[in-house]
Amino acid sequence: MSFTLHGLPVSSGIAIGHAHLVSHTSLEVSHYILPKNMLREEVERLDAALEKTRIELTSLHEHRPQYAAAEFDAFINLHLMILADEHISQAAREMILNEQCNAEWALKVQMDSLVMQFEAFEDSYLRERKTDVVQVVERILKTMNGVSGHAPPAAKHDVLPIMVAHDVSPADLIQLKPHQFAGILTDLGGATSHTSIVARSLNKPCVVGLHHARELIKDNDMLIVDGAQGVVIVNPDKQILAEYKLRHSQFELERQKLKRLKSGRTSTLDGTVIELYANIELPDDLAEVKENGAGGIGLFRSEFLFLNRDTLPDEEEQFTAYRTVAEGMKGLPVTIRTFDLGADKQLKGAKRVASNPALGLRAIRLCLAEPQLFRTQLRALLRASVFGNVKILIPMLSGTAEINQTLNFIAATKQELDRDGLAYNPAVQIGGMIEIPAAALSLNAFVEKLDFLSIGTNDLIQYTLAIDRTDDEVAHLYDPLHPAVLHLLSHVISGANKAGVPVSVCGEMAGELAYTRLLLGLGLRQFSMHPAQLLATKQRVLTTSLPEIAMLTQKMLRASDPMKIRELLDKLNV
């Protein structure tokens, strides 16, 4: 049966391929009641999965890579112990027999009860072991479904599969980078969540916030994903398929044509030079940055070095990563943001998730609360600063007190490096992100104390409009054109320009063609975006005349009616 689903567009392009359903990261399992005569069989099914998981873990242990740390052994042994624990296996068997439920449900209930017990421990080490319990149960469940992780299936068809997930964390998605999916679909998420940002960086058509895709789509269903419109067509008829194949080739042709713009300067029709920089998550992204002719790195989200791992990267590992990027860009600016962990980017085994993580211990707040972690990163960043044009960017600053505290911390780290006889660039520039309304409204402190500013529109919009950027239920209220947002943007850009402090936008707005002229009209001269969006943005800049858009932009700032603002934006983009 053919049907269509609508979600939030994240990454444009058209993908055509077969569905590959991936398991749910938060372990959503169904619950059903079984007839009495099937209970023995259900227990046997559970036992078979337990045994298969035990064999898998033992084999992982036996075939561990030579470089694997001692922790790997400890981790596998711990998982084997949890697997053998009666609280999981025996309790689940009893539950199947007593409550006539399916094995998956019994496992999930036992897991939840164990997690609650672990959470009550005072000892933080023991408390953290709840993550291991969840991982073991996840492994058993995957065994039961015959699904292993998020890896794509062996190619059954000539075309690449399309991933269909209920939800994927940014950490899980970044691991897929080397894998090949033609497109990505998720039920949850907002268009500027970090999962969406990573999906965009994979440069594949992606639609999020589909609500029921994981339920309605079956493995191997034929799918068309229209990433620009946020539309998914399931099992299309021949005519529709032919139509989209044509659109797909036209899209690819356009993409090829844009490559001609790679070299050559970026300026408006009236000759104003505009800088277009790239956002990256990992040093591996450099190849794409160069392919698209970026003038520098405007945002290196360094926190991605910290995700998906049991031990945190030490100073040497971080130094190597930052140095690789600094050297790779050959003297062009490389803006490295200190880690923005917390909210939807949690460290593996994080002790607790705050009740309101976006307003919790995130970014610079976490750095200042965990000085040892911050110190290690700053040492690595400062040491890398002699290998290129490195700038340090601080996320989520709210005002003077935090700025002072951070600058003092950096000064102290420099003194430490002096004592250790380690080289760094003493004049390394320190910038601040403007992503909290309080920061935008205390601009004076920022321009007085910092060398440059970068506006994080993803968070600035989230915090101004009180809309969780990861929540698809309020995604329709996430509005970059809200008058309050436009005023804050205008205030920061014109204020920084007046003070002679360089300012850029590095949120997703910078790479959306619909907003390029608006931002230019507000006075922005530096944009940072995912490399795949660079050439299309360059084309838009090359066809823009600043004097022509000035009046329309001012009208947009004066308007309060959303319809009127959209109308003016359309005129701006004609």
Residues labelled catalytic: 194, 506
Residue 88 touches which of Mg ion, ligand PEP, none (Cβ within 5-8 Å per kind):
none
Q: How far is the CB of 204 from ligand PEP (least distance, A)?
A: 19
Q: Closer CB to ligand PEP, residue 197 or residue 378?
A: 197
For 464-535, strand residue ranges (E) read: 503-505, 526-529
Query: Could you say which residues in the range 234-253 bind Mg ion, by CB under 5 A?
Result: none
Cα gap 225→251, rounded to integer Å: 13
Q: Closer CB to Mg ion, residue 182 or residue 347?
A: 347
Q: Which residues contact 372 (CB under 8 A, 6 or more apart)?
A: none
Closest CA to 291 of 244, 255, 320, 322: 255
Residue 389 phi, psi (nearest 5): -100, 70
CA-angle at 266, arms to 275 and 192, nearest 5°: 55
Cα gap 475→467, rounded to integer Å: 8
285 near ligand PEP, judged by CB under 6 A: no
Closest CA to 458 of 171, 193, 174: 193
459 near ligand PEP, judged by CB under 6 A: yes
CA 181 to chain centre: 17
Q: Closer CB to ligand PEP, residue 296 or residue 507?
A: 507
Stretch that binds ligand PEP, among 50-58, 254-262, 456-464, 557-565 (CB under 6 A): 456-464
Cα gap 540→528, rounded to integer Å: 15
Cα gap 130→381, rounded to integer Å: 34
Provide the mask over 388-417, with x wherever binding to Mg ion is found by CB under 5 A and - wherever it is not: ------------------------------
Q: Closer CB to Mg ion, residue 104 or residue 402?
A: 402
Q: How far is the CB of 455 from ligand PEP (least distance, A)?
A: 7
Residue 167 touches which of ligand PEP, Mg ion, none (Cβ within 5-8 Å per kind):
none
Q: How far is the CB of 364 from Mg ion (least distance, A)?
A: 11
H-helix or E-strand containing 568?
helix 562-572
508 near Mg ion, judged by CB under 5 A: no
Query: Could you say which residues in the range 325-344 bind ligand PEP, by CB under 6 A?
Result: 340
Q: Closer CB to ligand PEP, residue 105 or residue 339?
A: 339
Residue 285 touches which of ligand PEP, Mg ion, none (Cβ within 5-8 Å per kind):
none
Q: Closer CB to Mg ion, residue 459 or residue 468?
A: 459
Given a contact cutoff of 8 angstroms between Cβ atoms, the answer to whether 414 and 372 are in contact is no
457 near ligand PEP, judged by CB under 6 A: yes
Closest CA to 238 of 246, 250, 230: 246
Stretch that binds Mg ion, among 18-26, 29-37, 375-383, 450-458 (CB under 5 A): 450-458
Cα gap 106→90, rounded to integer Å: 10
Helix axes 400-420, 371-384, angle to 10 degrees: 60
DSSP 101: B
Q: How far is the CB of 129 from ligand PEP (least distance, A)?
A: 30
Residue 457 touches which of Mg ion, ligand PEP, none (Cβ within 5-8 Å per kind):
ligand PEP
Considering only residues 459, 472, 508, 512, which one is a binding residue for Mg ion as defined by CB under 5 A?
Answer: 459
Q: How far is the CB of 546 from Mg ion (least distance, A)?
A: 28
Considering only residues 13, 170, 431, 456, which one is a binding residue for Mg ion as defined by CB under 5 A?
Answer: 456
Residue 105: how many CB atoms within 10 A of its CB? 18
Stretch that binds ligand PEP, among 80-88, 175-183, 404-412, 454-462 (CB under 6 A): 454-462
List helix spans (H) across 504-561: 513-521, 534-542, 546-558
Considering only residues 226, 435, 468, 508, which one is a binding residue for Mg ion as defined by CB under 5 A?
Answer: 435
- Encode burial over 268-292: b for 16+ CB neighbours within 10 A, e otherwise: beeeeebbbbbbbbbbebbebbeeb
Q: Measuring CA to CA, how many Å separate 60 from each of 53, 69, 70, 139?
A: 10, 13, 14, 13
Q: Closer CB to ligand PEP, residue 133 or residue 168?
A: 168
Considering only residues 506, 518, 520, 534, which one is a binding residue for ligand PEP as defined by CB under 6 A?
Answer: 506
Residue 506 touches which of ligand PEP, Mg ion, none (Cβ within 5-8 Å per kind):
ligand PEP
Query: Could you say which residues in the range 197-226 bind ligand PEP, by CB under 6 A?
Result: 197
391 near ligand PEP, judged by CB under 6 A: no
301 near ligand PEP, judged by CB under 6 A: yes
As given in the structure block, the two tokens for residue 125 are 């080490």
**Radius of gyration of the chain from Cα atoms?**
25
Q: Closer CB to Mg ion, residue 89 or residue 504?
A: 504
Q: Binding residues for Mg ion, per CB under 5 A?
A: 435, 456, 459
Q: Binding residues for ligand PEP, per CB under 6 A?
A: 197, 299, 301, 340, 435, 456-459, 506-507
